[in-house]
Every structure is written in C-alpha cells, then in structure tokens.
Amino acid sequence: MNLLLTKNDLAMLESQGISRLQIEMQAERLARGFPFPRIVASASVEKGITDVSSVEQLKYINEWDEYLQGNHRVLKFVPASGAASRMFKAIYEFIAASRNEPAAPEEKEFFGKIKQFAFYQALNQACLVATDQRLTKCLWAGKYKIVASILLENHGLNYGQLPKGLLLFHSYQHGDARTAVEEHMAEGAMYARNLAGEVNLHFTVSTGHEQLFKDFVEKKKEIYEDKFSVKYNITFSCQKSSTDTIAAGENTIPLRNPGGTLMLRPGGHGALIENLNEIDADIVFIKNIDNVTPDSLRYSTVIYKKVLAGVLVSLQKQIFAYLNLIDSGKYSHRQVGEMISFLQDKLFTRRSDIKFLEDTELILYLRKKFHRPIRVCGMVRNESEPGGGPFLAVNPDGTTSPQIIESAQIDLSDPSQKEFFEQGTHFNPVDLVCGLKDHLGNKYHLPDYVDKDAGFISEKSKGGRLVRALELPGLWNGAMSDWNTVFVQVPSDTFTPVKIVNDLLRPEHQ
C-alpha cells in the first residue's frame, strides 16, 4: 500500500497512542488481506459441544453457588457502545419517503402495534408536549411522520441518537418500564452476587454517551439495590483510540477526511480486549447490551448462566491442580496421561504428533496449554439467526481447538470449508463466562493471546465512495483465539437480541 504520512499525520497518530509501525502493519493488512482459518470440523453436540444433562445442571449450579461463597471477584462485562440508530433504519426510511402512510410490512407492524412498546407512555407524553395531542389522536389524523420524528429526533425522545442501552425495552406493572441497562442490573443480581451482596458491572460505552450512562445509573442504582438487596459497583470504559484503524479505497490508498487528516475508524469489538484486560476480576460474564429479557422470562437465562459458570469453575479447578502438579515436578507417568486425556477430551485441544514428544517437551507443551485464560461459551441451535459459529480449527502452532469464527472469515470458495460452514448446527449468541487469572492468582495479559491473523476487511459505502475498513480480531473469535475454549449448548430462549425496533414485539420481550 502507498502509505505517505505527513508530519501532521504522525502527530495525530501519536496523540491517539498509535505508532507508525502499527499504521504500516494495518496498511499491509489492507493491501494483502487476512489468511482464512482452516476449519477441520463444524462443532456439534457429537463433536466439541457439551450438552449438559439435568443432573449435571444441578451439579454445576451448586459448583457456582459454592464458588460465590469464597473470596472471589466476579464481574458482568457488557459491551454497550451500540447506537440505537440502526434499530430504527426502517422508520428513518419511512420519514424520508414521499408517501405519508406506512406501507412496508415493518412500518405497518410498528405503527399498528405501537401501544405494545415499553416506550409507548413516554412517546405519548412527548406527543402531548410537541403537538398538544395524544399519540393515538396523531395517528388517527394520519400524522405518522410527526410521531416518528418525535420518537427519533431531539425535539422528542431523541431515540435515534441515544445508545441502545438507554432505550425502554420492557413494560412492567403500574406503568413502569425498564431500559436494557436496568435489565442487566437486575440480571446481574440473580447470578453474579458475591457473599457480601455486591454485584460488579462494567459497561463499555462510546465516548459521547459515557456521561449519559453515568447519570442514568446514578439515578437508578438505589432503586435496584433496594429491590434486590444488593450493592452495585458499576464502572464504565470507552474503546481506546489507540485501537482505531485506517481505511482505504478501491486503489488501496489510505482515505482521508475532507480536512486532509487520515480517516481513522474504530477497530470493531475486538478492540475491547484492551478494556477487558484492565478488568480486575477472577470470573467475568460477557453478554451484549441488547440480549435481555424481562423478569418473568429470565429463569432459563439465570439457570444457564450459573451452569456455564459452574462448568468453568469445575474445569478451572482441574487445570489449576495440573499446573500445581507440573510446577512441583512431582508427577507420575499415569498423571501425565491423565493431563493429555483432559486436554484432548475436555478442552478439545489436540496435537497430531503428541506421542512423539520427549518428556520435557511434552510437559512444557501441557503447561503452555493449561496456562491460558479459559472461557465457556454458550451455543444455541441455529435457527437462522445471524452470528459467528462454533468450529474446530487449526491454530498457528498446528494444534486444533474450538474456535468461534464469523462467516466473513471463512473461505466459502473452498468446497470443504463451505461444507463445514453449511453443516453448522449452532451459532454464537455471545454468552461467555471467562476465567482471567491463573493458578497463582495472577492476571493473564490478554493481548498476548490474540491471533492477529484473525481479523477481516469489511467493505462499506460512505459518501458515495467505497471504504475498505480493517476490523481487528473480534472479541470472541480472534481476540480470544489462544484461550482454552469450551462450548456448551444452551436453549434458544436464553438468546433474545434486539437488532430492529420490532424485535421488541416478540413474545420474549412482552
């Protein structure tokens, strides 16, 4: 790539904590692309995905409840930087259309069922203020676009400019309604409460919305502390500007803004590995901001969160025992055989030449594989929902292990890779429980476990021109590539995302 950096470019990059070498490597990536991962199998219940029986569920729930009685720091980590504007794409298109009445199915459903949205009462009040008429009267008069603009623009609720986490998602009795942030607060109290009654929550938010979140949480925190008899410790962070990436056009020359500065874009959710790395916690739950349910439908979610955490604690106990054994130097041939079996059968990590390794080399290999962050990932049966999928893939060191891989990363021109992709039975709902410390209580340095070859290049149109943007290795795929990874099947009712506004009309949100 033709990368000509001016003194002003270098000064701007330095101010963001980006080195010249980083930019040169990004430019090289944009020019050459990323290698495709080599998939050897689609993960399934028969191969790589654990299906927990009802008896085992109770065992793992008990494991987790027992763990919470100890002196451990547990935290719920919620990526919440998503803007709500994408939820309302169809409504924005309706406002811009020449017609004045809803015609598309999504528009008709939105206005026809508008009373079912949790934000109905707030919107009705905003209509009264803006037009001196109730919402229903506005609709009877055919003022659909006025209602839509009151919902989305700053003379009304301003939902088009708010973060998704601060939108009212669910209705409750007596006219109460909760935002997605409040539902995460409620959910955290049900499975991440420690012995002292504390619930630790961390939201990653966009810079422009940080104060909005802080003010909102400060206003609501005491209400939920009283309701659930807990004490919340809620923190926030923003995606670091040092993780921004350059973009290029069709000719691979870096794009510039109208003022002549380099065009830098957020590097995708993979950049959040830096935020996660700064968290001080033993166990961390990760779940997206829009994947929540109301209290009445939360039972399954809470049960399986505890199951996933119990699986992790159970695996971690054994891994720590093996690491302590290796560090002591007092292990038998039988115990080494147990370690190999555990690595292959429980962590699904294999090395084809393991039987040829000399004793010292074998022990070093086992220690390296055990001494890594661990994550247990809930996987839902595929029902045509978008998202990455669970596979068994080849790692840079030649081993194979469970990996979450996005469809954009897969070489669908290769018949064998396409077949594995099409054979997929499950997808990734972003439902993770992570262990971030080792057997000695030391934090892992998470950037050391990123596969830098696992990013991809997205193509978008901006202002009528093609923008080829560099996406960093994703948080739950490439950024966690070198973690010990276990897949566990979870029921579909634990995955209730809100990608468009009409998703809030689904039964799981009513």
pTM of the model: 0.94
Same domain, 146 and 29: no
Give the whole-angstrom CA distance, residue 423 versus residue 453. Answer: 24
412 & 505 share domain: yes
Three-state SS sequence of 47-83: EEEECCCHHHHHHHHHHHHHHHCCCCCEEEEEECCCE
**What tokens does 204 get?**
């990653």
Distance between CA atoms of residues 421 and 412, nearest Å: 8
Q: What is the 3-state secondary structure (H, E, C) of 217-254?
A: HHHHHHHHHHHHCCEEEEEEEECCHHHCEEEECCCCCE
Q: Which two tokens stand for residue 148?
A: 């839509």
Task: Look at the chain and report how many structural domains it folds into.
Answer: 2
Q: Same domain for 357 and 345? A: yes
Residue 318 sits in the same domain as residue 454:
yes
What's the pLDDT at 192? Answer: 96
Is residue 273 domain-shared with residue 218, that is, in the same domain? yes
Q: Please, is 247 exposed, middle or buried when counting C-beta atoms within 10 Å of its C-beta (0-12, 13-18, 19+)?
A: buried
**Pair (149, 235) in one structural domain:** no
Q: Which helix (H) or strand (E) is 420 found in, with range?
A: helix 415-422
Q: Is residue 124 part of a domain?
A: yes
CA separation for the pair 41, 483 (Å, rounded): 19
Q: Are 65 and 320 in contact (CB under 8 A)?
A: no
**Residue 392: strand pairing partners:** 41, 402
Instruction: For residue 212, give the CATH number of its domain.
Output: 3.90.550
Residue 1 lies in a domain: no
Q: What is the pLDDT of residue 466?
A: 81
**Which domain, by its residues, includes 147?**
85-161
Within a domain: 239: yes
Q: Is residue 166 part of a domain?
A: no
Rg of the Cα atoms in the chain:
25
* Residue 258 and residue 202 in one domain: yes
Same domain, yes or no: 91 and 74: no
User: What is the separation of C-alpha 119 from the centre of its chain, rounded to a whole number of angstroms?
Assistant: 25
CB 463 within 8 A of CB 475: no
Distance CA 103, CA 109 (A): 10
242 and 121 within one domain = no
Q: What is the pLDDT of residue 259?
A: 86
Distance CA 250, CA 103 (A): 37
Same domain, 52 and 137: no
What pLDDT score was predicted for residue 147? 97
CA distances from 188 to 180, 199, 378 (A): 12, 6, 17
State how far the Cα of 273 lies from the Cα of 247, in Å rounded to an integer.
Answer: 21
Q: Is residue 308 part of a domain?
A: yes
Residues 89 and 79 in one domain: no
Instruction: Let me know whether 240 and 325 are in one domain.
Output: yes
Q: What is the pLDDT along the chain (510 residues), one digit of tens a residue?
A: 557 788 888 899 889 999 888 888 888 888 888 999 999 999 999 899 999 999 999 999 999 999 999 989 999 999 999 889 999 999 999 999 999 999 999 999 999 999 999 999 999 999 999 999 999 999 999 999 999 999 999 999 999 999 999 999 999 988 899 999 999 999 999 999 999 999 999 999 999 999 999 999 999 999 999 999 999 999 999 998 888 898 888 777 788 888 888 888 888 888 999 999 999 999 999 999 999 999 999 999 999 999 999 999 999 999 999 999 999 999 999 999 999 999 999 999 999 999 999 999 999 999 999 999 999 999 999 876 556 799 999 999 999 999 999 988 999 999 999 999 999 999 999 999 999 999 999 999 999 999 999 988 888 777 677 888 888 898 998 999 999 999 999 999 999 999 999 999 999 999
Residue 146 domain-assigned (yes or no)? yes
Q: How far apart are CA 6 and CA 261, in angstroms?
A: 9
Q: Specify if 170 maps to a domain.
A: no
Residue 60 lies in a domain: yes
